[in-house]
A and B are shown apart, each in its own frame.
Chain A
Amino acid sequence: MNIYKYASPATFYPVAGKMIPWFAIPAAILFVAGLYVGFFIAPTDFQQGDAYRIMFIHVPAAWMGMFLYVLMAIYAGVGWAFNARLSSMMASAIAVTGAMFTLLSLVTGAFWGKPTWGTWWVWDARMTSTLILLFLYAGFISLQAAIDDPRRADRAGAVLALVGVINVPIIYFSVQWWNTLHQGATIRILGKPSIAPPMLAAMLIMLAACWLYSVAVVLVRLRCIILEREQNASRFAEVNV
């Protein structure tokens, strides 16, 4: 079997359509399961009370935001290097989901910070670098949106994403350096308490749910992008109407 044939958007379009429920339904089930474990089984934290429960969405969202940026850069880079359209489309499809998770982790972080630290925002190294990550996503999305020619948009996005990926570790360490220089380690996120097994279980279930959700949503968006870009191909004539 030649797997490369699935690199053609026209071939992948129906395959993606068949794959979506396989990810979307488990994602929904795991979200429900994760929330149940998180709200009803996981014990109340003796220091933070019930406010810590927002971690069950906050931590997976933050992880997803970072992973998806790297994944997006890989797809964009592959699309650029091998001139694979589908891969570039995948990168554009991932960008929005990644930005959404990054924003979600910032917002939920603020909700957690208010009762726990007494403030919505602290210039903590991790929060700052997450904010910068959001800026990088914004740059990628707005660059692609500004370019009319989709092929140029793909390649320009790839250059930007790769430059960003090289820069992300430097930014991360510089922010950490800056933070320690200014205010010292006043607050540690999750000050390393030995995490209770149900808490860990809820976190991992939510992480799996977020992954499955991302795959499903990215595939849906990918199908839209394929339809948009290939609307002149005769293959899609009947889909377009």
Chain B
Amino acid sequence: MLRWIVWRDLMLAWRRRSDILSTVFFFVIVVSLFPLGIGPETQLLRSIAPGVVWVAALLASMLSLGRLFANDYQDGTLEQLLLTPQPLYLVVLGKVLAHWIIAEIPLVLIAPLVGVQFDLSRETLWILFVSLLLGTPVLSLIGSVGAALTLGLRGGGVLISILILPLYIPALIFGAGAVEASIIGISPAANIYLLGAFAIVSLIFSPFATAAALRISLE
């Protein structure tokens, strides 16, 4: 069931490749705007890089979250998925996993390249990659709660940001903190572990919340 859902979502996303690309471009453009707004001093850019890349990743995931359930909701597939005898937890987990692969993995892969713009060292780029790899599942997981709650509402896109961005704060702090620690030359391990712990907690709890929210939105 899980595999089927993931496969189906991946196929659907593959047929609409432009959606994936637009999220990636959004991420790259937002990150590139900061040097233009702040100025090209290397020292300054290096110190803001972790925050800028991470905040851009949060905003980019806001863009793609609206689509997480919306298409299935509109054509009625979601209703059928709710009726299947399989636990809704698995359905949600599958959709979140697919969202992570479609929308977040490209960001994680391109982030080191973007980091080069900010003159980060090799190790720091590696930490940036690891922190995003651990942190982006949190964005998909917690974001899915917001996506399920705002399903079919007016102004869902803005609303989801208000609901979800405050809940992302721990991921932002730990993720950007790890990169920052690596820049100033101390061990990023503590932040990485905390980020991992936060990812596990959200993996355990948020599919339940999303499943509950889906039932509420679709009754």
Contact = CB atoms under 8 A, between A and B. Distances in A.
Contact of A156 (B181, B205, B213): B213
A172 to B, nearest CB: 10
A190 interface: no
Q: Is the interface of A mostly helix, strand, loop or mixed?
A: helix
Interface string B134-159: 00000000100100011001111001
Contact of A159 (B145, B159, B162): B145
Contact of A177 (B142, B153, B173): B173
A170 B171 CA distance: 10
A160 B170 contact: no
A146 B150 CA distance: 9
A114 interface: no
A132 B198 contact: no
Given A174-B173, A177-B173, A152 B166 contact: no
B170 A171 contact: yes
Interface string B180-219: 1100000000000010001001000110010011001101
A142 interface: yes
Contacts, number: 75
Interface string A109-148: 0000000000000000000000010011011001100110
A30 interface: no
A159 B209 contact: yes
Nearest to A159: B213
Contact of B170 (A138, A159, A170): A170
Interface string A85-109: 0000000000000000000000000
A117 B150 CA distance: 42
Given A171-B169, A181-B177, A155 B216 contact: yes
A156 B216 CA distance: 7
Interface in A176-207: 177-178, 181
A216 B159 CA distance: 30
A147 B166 contact: no
Contacts of A155: 216
A139 B165 CA distance: 10
B118 interface: no
Nearest to A163: B209
B149 A174 contact: no
Interface of A: 132, 135-136, 138-139, 142-143, 146-147, 152, 155-156, 159-160, 162-164, 166-167, 170-171, 174-175, 177-178, 181
Interface of B: 142, 145, 149-150, 153-156, 159, 162-163, 165-167, 169-170, 173-174, 177, 180-181, 194, 198, 201, 205-206, 209, 212-213, 216-217, 219
The 7 closest A-B pairs by CB, nearest first: A174-B170, A135-B166, A155-B216, A139-B163, A178-B173, A174-B173, A146-B153
